[in-house]
Amino acid sequence: MTTSKIPKDRRHHAALGFAAVTILLVTACALLWLTSHFLGRGEIQTASGTNTPDVTIIIDAGHGGIDGGTQSRDGLLEKDINLAVANKLYALCRLAGIDCRLTRCDDNMLVSDDIKQKRKMHDLKNRAAIADEYVSPVFVSIHMNSYPDSRYSGLQVWYSKNDERSRSLASYVQSYAAGYLDPSNTRVIKPATSSIYLLDRLQVPAILIECGFLSNENESALLASDDYQTKLALVIFAALCDSISTNM
């Protein structure tokens, strides 16, 4: 029996295809394990239909459109990282069967083109209004930090003072970040002031996560990494699940 040789480029493509499938399978198994581990109490809805509180996680990717937010020294825009992390968190929630919604899923502000004045304020009001559409919303806003002194780094969570459950949400996320992302992170949660419009306006459990400092060169490089963005989303997801199952 004769055997024909497979062209080198086809072997290369086949190897890449196999590697991609392997990565997808490993990722799926990891996500399923996380779902089982953190949702195993049966208090949050899973795809298998376990009993749950009626919770909807609203995932807000901060900024968008002409509002780029802060940026790194090499031009990395906050709005883009916010959306990347938010999309990953949304995918995890969907996989777990948790009701969830993105405030934006593309590079746009939440304001119509015919609004010419105070577009930023209209955008924020429209984001906050999304929470009013649900019976039991949990609002999670994803942002990046910046400071003139580039030595500062680390994730930090702000919480709304309008609902006592917000503090618990913030504590879980801050604790998980220190435990699984950066053990050297000694930052503590902070109550939002009136300068943080969304947390000041919302009357539901609400937190704003500053995922790290784009002004810090090392942390900026991490935040630009797809792998680190995935870790961020996983940590936030696990913390939210634990907090919601305990306190909602």
pLDDT at 91: 97
* Residue 156, Ramachandran bin (φ over 0: left; ψ between -120 and 50: alpha; else beta): beta
Q: How many CA atoms lie within 13 A of 75 on its CB side?
A: 0
Domain segments of the chain as ranges: 15-247
Sheet of 206-213, strands arranged across: 100-102, 56-61, 137-145, 206-213, 156-159, 190-191
98 neighbors 45 (Cβ within 8 angstroms) = yes
Quick one: tokens of 121? 């304020």
Q: How far, in Å, CA of 174 to CA of 156, rounded?
A: 6
Confidence of residue 43 (pLDDT cuts 50, 70, 90): very low
Average pLDDT on 115-143 reads: 95
Ranges assigned E (strand) in 100-161 = 100-102, 137-145, 156-159
pLDDT tier at 34, thresholds 50, 70, 90? low
**95 contacts 48 by C-beta, under 8 angstroms:** no
Q: What is the mean pLDDT of residues 160-178?
A: 98
15-247 maps to which CATH number?
A: 3.40.630.40
* pLDDT of amino acid 234: 96
Angle between helix axes 226-247 and 8-39 (nearest 10 degrees) is: 20
The residues that bridge with 241 in the sheet, in sequence order, are none
The reported pTM is 0.81
Least confident among 15-24, 130-139, 197-206: 15-24
CA 153 to CA 131: how far, in whole Å? Answer: 31
Describe the crossing of helices 226-247 and 165-180 by its angle, rounded to 10 degrees: 140
